[in-house]
Amino acid sequence: MAFELTKKQVVAEIIRCGKDTNYFINNFCRISHPLEGTIPFDLYDFQEDLIDKFNEHRFSVINKARQLGISTTAAAYICWLMLFHRDKNILVVATKLGTAANLVKKVKFMMKSLPDWMMIAKITTDNKNSFELANGSQIKASSTSGDAGRSEALTLLVIDEAAHIEGLEELWAGLYPTLSTGGRCIALSSPNGVGNWFHKVYTEAEEGKNDFHPITLLWHLHPDRDDEWFHKETRNMSRRLIAQELECSFNFSGETLVHGEDLERIQKGLCDPKYKTGHDRNFWIWEQYEEGKNYALVADVARGDGKDFSAFQVFETDTMTQVAEYQGKPTLDVYSEMIFESSREFGFCLTIVENNSIGMTVLDKLRDKRHPNLYYSTKHSHSFVDRYEVDSVSNAIPGITMSSKTRPLIIAKFEEFIRTKLIKINSTRLANEMKTFIWNNGRAEAMRSYNDDLVIACAIACWVRDIALVVNKRELQYKHAMIGSLSIGKKDFHTKIPGQKGYNINPMSKLRKQQQEAQNFAWLFKE
């Protein structure tokens, strides 16, 4: 039976709602259910805890499973914040405007579903992607493109599906100053691999390296879900999708070229270099040169726009163990000299340089210095050319070409070496690049705003590994053949140098002695 509250009761309810967010949501907020229509929003225990954390922490980053009602919970919190506080400026951003607008729509629906007496601030401006209350509080949806909210001070910034927003680092750099006056931020998303802004912020929050409070919400927190539900739900889902949508796993959720299990295994095997040297101390060395071992140096040359790095890898090719690595932004002269000297440190090992436009400049400098062991390939077929046959092959060029034909093969070989455990990686820099090396519309490349120079150099090393072994074995065969052709005679040689073994004062004396002996016994042969 319906009844009306007295004025005193209304005032008491409004005061209580203003002080207790969860009470307001549980008793007055309504949501639109796809099957049941408009229903009360009865918070689950984990949702109430989440609301409390919103109030306790200025910055929250939420790694969540899907269909837990977290976006709806955030919308209810925003509804309370706008209604009971003056001049609150709230911005919701997402990859697509429609995604951000959907959250704003939820806030508006809750606001319009409140009892009339609860609407202490009426909606004065009502647009598709924004609305404003009479108390000055307002909310607006925006995509991540353009200058979203950069010119205005924000009370609350909500970043929806943060792990799926490309270039969020740049956006955050522009939005963070708008929160400097005490503004708050809620970043929520299901995971999407590692290396992106959401992953970095969350992991750093766990380590206490930023101001965000980390929150993980797994699928089983929902009271209506059990193991039976999980098995039924995941029956036709891929391992990656399960990790992303339900298990909140960063390593297993992304579209990375290298599988999450392999990334975890590699991470456990990383170690600090024994030496950090070079003019910028960016030349890392794990193992020094050992006689009898085969090595290969692979160099990737920066484009020259200042955004990427020049890098090279050194591998012991028999075991494919990473022994040295460089990453920096030296001039071409310095970089060429570094390649030459590093190659010499490892026995003038086979040196492979990507022969793009700038790479050819480096190769020319290495040839001017008469580098004895450069990698050569044919111009059009990209086949390997033995350096002893370079002069006889008309279309032979120094270096390796990363073309539309060779790149997929090189990347595939790299993935194969990782998957089959044929390579030993030591570098944290390389491992971090592997975390952000993803499939993007069928092409393996670095995430936006990330680099892949170390990965590419490593991939090329895997590609030429067998060739490198053949070349180095042939080198050894040539050396063995040369050494084998030298023989030591037991017979002394005559010399005219006094004091040397084989010196004879008169080399003809022995012949004369033999002639005299022959005359002494000549009578034996008389007829």
Mean pLDDT along residues 485-511:
52
CATH of the domain at 207: 3.40.50.300
Residues 242, 352: one domain? no
Residues 406, 307: one domain? yes
Q: How far apart are CA 257 and CA 237, in angstroms?
A: 19
Residues 151, 243: one domain? yes
What predicted TM-score, i.e. pTM, was given to this entire model?
Answer: 0.64
How would you classify residue 88: left for phi > 0, otherwise alpha for psi between -120 and 50, otherwise beta?
beta
Question: Does residue 496 belong to any structural domain of this protein?
Answer: no
Query: Is a pLDDT exceeding 60 seen at residue 61?
Result: yes
Residues 149, 269: one domain? no
Residues 455, 313: one domain? yes
Residues 128, 224: one domain? yes
Q: How far apart are CA 185 and CA 187, in angstroms?
A: 6
Question: 326-345 b/e with 16+ CB inside 10 Å = b?
Answer: bbbebebeebbbbbbebbbb
Q: Cα 306 vs. chain centroid, distance in angstroms?
A: 19
Q: Answer yes or no: are the C-beta atoms of 129 and 140 closer than 8 Å.
A: yes
Question: Does residue 509 belong to any structural domain of this protein?
Answer: no
SS3 for 175-232, per residue? HHHHHCCCCEEEEEECCCCCCCHHHHHHHHHHCCCCCEEEEEECHHHCCCCCHHHHHH
Q: At what angle do helices 97-112 and 70-83 cross, to 10 degrees?
A: 60
Residues 122, 194: one domain? yes
Residues 295, 358: one domain? yes
The whole domain housing 29 covers 7-254
Residue 55 pLDDT level (bands cut at 50, 70, 90) = very high
Residue 259 pLDDT level (bands cut at 50, 70, 90) = confident
| Helix or strand holding residue 268 (H, E) | helix 260-268
Question: Does residue 430 belong to any structural domain of this protein?
Answer: yes
Phi, psi of 330 (to 5 degrees): -80, 165
- Give the per-residue pLDDT at 135: 96
- Give the per-residue pLDDT at 126: 94
Q: What share of the chain is helix, strand, coil (3-state, %, to 5)?
A: 40, 20, 40
Residues 250, 303: one domain? no
Question: Does residue 436 belong to any structural domain of this protein?
Answer: yes
Torsion angle, alpha carbons of 64, 66, 71, 72, to 10 = -130
How would you classify residue 135: left for phi > 0, otherwise alpha for psi between -120 and 50, otherwise beta?
alpha
Longest Cα separation, the chain: 164
Residues 248, 311: one domain? no
Q: What is the pLDDT of residues 269-312, one digit of tens each?
A: 999 999 999 889 999 999 999 999 999 999 999 876 667 899 99
The angle formed by the CA atoms of residues 197, 427 and 267, to the nearest 5 degrees, is 65
| Helix or strand holding residue 310 (H, E) | strand 310-316
- Give the per-residue pLDDT at 211: 94
- In angstroms, what CA-CA distances link 501 with 452, 494, 497, 511? 65, 8, 9, 20
The angle formed by the CA atoms of residues 102, 106 and 107, to the nearest 5 degrees, is 120
Question: Does residue 477 belong to any structural domain of this protein?
Answer: yes
- In angstroms, what CA-CA distances link 202 with 191, 205, 330, 436, 448? 10, 5, 33, 16, 19
Question: Does residue 168 belong to any structural domain of this protein?
Answer: yes
| Helix or strand holding residue 75 (H, E) | helix 70-83
Which residue among 211, 237, 254 closes a domain? 254
Query: Is a pLDDT exceeding 70 seen at residue 149?
Result: no
CATH of the domain at 466: 3.30.420.240
- Give the per-residue pLDDT at 493: 47
Mean pLDDT along residues 193-214:
91
Mean pLDDT along residues 9-26:
95
Residues 220, 274: one domain? no
SS3 for 352-396, per residue? EEECCHHHHHHHHHHHHCCCCCECEEECCCCCEECHHHHHHCCCE
Please spell the DSSP secondary structure of 441-504, one letter per residue: TTEEEEPTT---HHHHHHHHHHHHHHHHHHHHHHHHHHHHHHHHT----SSPPPBSSTTSTTB-
Q: How far apart are CA 403 and CA 407, in angstroms?
A: 6
- In angstroms, what CA-CA distances link 331 with 278, 302, 306, 326, 371? 13, 10, 11, 14, 19
- Give the per-residue pLDDT at 298: 96
Residue entry with tokens 């509250």: 5
Residues 320, 249: one domain? no
β-bridge mates for residue 328, sequence order = 310
Question: Does residue 2 belong to any structural domain of this protein?
Answer: no
Q: Answer yes or no: are the C-beta atoms of 509 and 518 closer than 8 Å.
A: no
Which residue among 444, 465, 481 closes a domain? 481
Question: Does residue 394 belong to any structural domain of this protein?
Answer: yes
Residues 6+ apart with CB under 8 A from 131: 104, 108, 111, 123, 125, 138, 139
Q: What is the pLDDT of residues 104-126, one digit of tens each?
A: 999 999 999 999 999 999 999 99
| Number of domains the chain is built from | 2
Q: How far apart are CA 407 and CA 202, in angstroms?
A: 33
Give the chain's mean pLDDT. 86
Query: Is a pLDDT exceeding 80 seen at residue 466?
Result: no
Phi, psi of 298 (to 5 degrees): -120, 125
Query: Is a pLDDT exceeding 70 seen at residue 128?
Result: yes
- Give the per-residue pLDDT at 1: 36
Which residue among 254, 289, 311 closes a domain? 254
Q: How far apart are CA 347 and CA 342, in angstroms?
A: 9
Q: How far apart are CA 298 and CA 401, in angstroms?
A: 12
Q: How far apart are CA 246 and CA 67, in angstroms?
A: 9
Copy the structure tokens of residue 355.
């022969």
